[in-house]
Amino acid sequence: MSTITMKKSIQFLFLLFVFLLPVQTQFIYQETIINAEKYQFETQAIFGTELLLGLIVLLTIISFFQNFKKREKKFTADEKTNLGIFAALLSICAANCFFADNSSLAFYKFTQLILGATVAIIAVTSQVGIKKICVALAASGVVQAIFAVWQFATQSVFNCKWLGMAAQDPAILGTSVIEQNSERLLRAYGTMPHPNLLAGFLTICLLATLFLITKLKGGRRIIAIIGFAIIFLGLLLTFSRAGLIAFFAGFAIWIIFTLKNRLPAKPLLISFAISIVLSIVFGVATFDFTKTRIIGGRLEQISTEQRLSEFQESTTILNNDWLTGSGLGNYTLSLKNQFPDKHAWEYQPPHNAFWLFIIEFGVIQGAIILLTLFGFIFWAIKSTPESLEKYFSMALATAWLILAGLDHYFISFWTGIIIFGLIMGIILNNRIGKRSK
């Protein structure tokens, strides 16, 4: 295979991977049962998207060795520093797995983290380009939003093993719903395992679509705006407060810096107006349920109490293993050992990815990794020249910080890990792309 053909194949497969990211097709090879109930957080599986990513990694390695002798320039100082930091962080993560109670589960999660980092690397090295990645995200977001609209309209989620979707009925306990008096309204899942994860993904898709709106002209911009409206409707149908807060916070950062530096802001302002109008119309159409979601009802009160309880339990687990941590992916196992008489669904990670990371890695290791990660993101954005690309990166980072601070899926779910890897890839791509011009 020629170099050009190989490069195009990698780029096509990577864009396909981005588009298929929400699909949860998987082969479960080790299922966990707790008190006669299936338990997802300790279940080990191979995802269809994981196999596709494996193929992309293989082709990338082959391409690297094909072009190794042709490489004219050596690694830059920045590249050497980044590779050194990456190797050091991986070493810390690998060492953590050996101290975990369940090393198999820890290495399973470690593999997912490596693949998440690989996504960021391939997003840059494949030279696929930010615009194409954003097109793939926008297209995927539209498809997920259509699923969301269908699920909301039919008040059901159909079972489909080929998409990795489990049936959901609002009348059955355990389904994510909004409750008003005796009526239960289904929150949209898309093809995701939970509405909150769908909301996080759609938030990133919305910001990617905004980037396209700022870059495209004429009919293509109109198509992007229509896509934006559809995806935003999908986000509303998840009834995710964290998703909406993260989106509007990232959007606000983008608009503020665009106006401050006197860059073209009309496309952003039009999109902002559309999101506000849709929010008002949706709020009026579902007033009772939206009001319940905002001010809190019975289920919201239960959710708040559960999250407070999760934090208290996690503090107990951290006190037991503050130095080495519970082990990557082992938090719920430690929780089960500490409180053995609960139902499977009661063993939940704390809804804060950063806190969960500290608990699983220990105070010292966790703090080192997180501070390094925050510093790396700050450096990548700060060193990007003033541009729409920089403000796009700032919006993504802001949204990620909020979402990760209010939920755990960026470390506990395969899809969440890959979404973060993709965010990092876009931020690095923005930096490299603008500095090379």
pLDDT on residue 1: 64
pLDDT at 89 over 50: yes
Q: Report the pLDDT averaged over residues 32-54.
A: 85
pLDDT on residue 83: 76
pLDDT on residue 136: 97
* Cβ-proximal residues to 189 (8 Å cutoff; 6+ apart), any chain: 147, 148, 151, 157, 165, 168, 176, 195, 198
pLDDT at 436 over 60: no
The 10s digit of each residue's pLDDT in 412-422 is: 999 999 999 99
pLDDT at 80 over 80: no
* Lowest-confidence segment of 145-154, 198-207, 385-394 by average pLDDT: 385-394
pLDDT at 73 over 70: no
Cβ pair 382, 397 in contact under 8 A: no
DSSP assignment string, 109-147: HHHHHHHHHHHHHHHHHT---HHHHHHHHHHHHHHHHHH
What are the b/e assignments for 345-377, b being 16+ CB within 10 Å? ebbbbbbbbbbbbbbbbbeebbeebeeebeebb
- Tokens representing 193 are 């395992």
- Per cent of the chain over pLDDT 70 is 95
Name the residue type at position 33.
Answer: I
Q: Report the pLDDT averaged over residues 361-372.
A: 92
Nearest Cα residue to 88 out of 386, 419, 372, 341: 372
* Lowest-confidence segment of 5-9, 23-27, 213-217 by average pLDDT: 5-9
The 10s digit of each residue's pLDDT in 291-314 is: 888 887 788 888 888 889 889 999
Distance CA 214, CA 220 (A): 11
Maximum Cα–Cα distance across the chain: 69
Q: Report the pLDDT averaged over residues 63-81.
A: 68
* Lowest-confidence segment of 294-308, 354-368, 379-393 by average pLDDT: 294-308
Q: Report the pLDDT averaged over residues 31-55.
A: 86
The 10s digit of each residue's pLDDT in 223-271 is: 999 999 999 999 999 999 999 999 999 999 999 999 998 888 899 999 9
pLDDT on residue 76: 67
Q: What is the mean pLDDT of the chain?
A: 90
pLDDT on residue 78: 67
The 10s digit of each residue's pLDDT in 419-434 is: 999 999 999 888 876 5
pLDDT on residue 252: 96
Distance CA 259, CA 257 (A): 5
Sequence spans of domains, the chain: 3-65+78-435
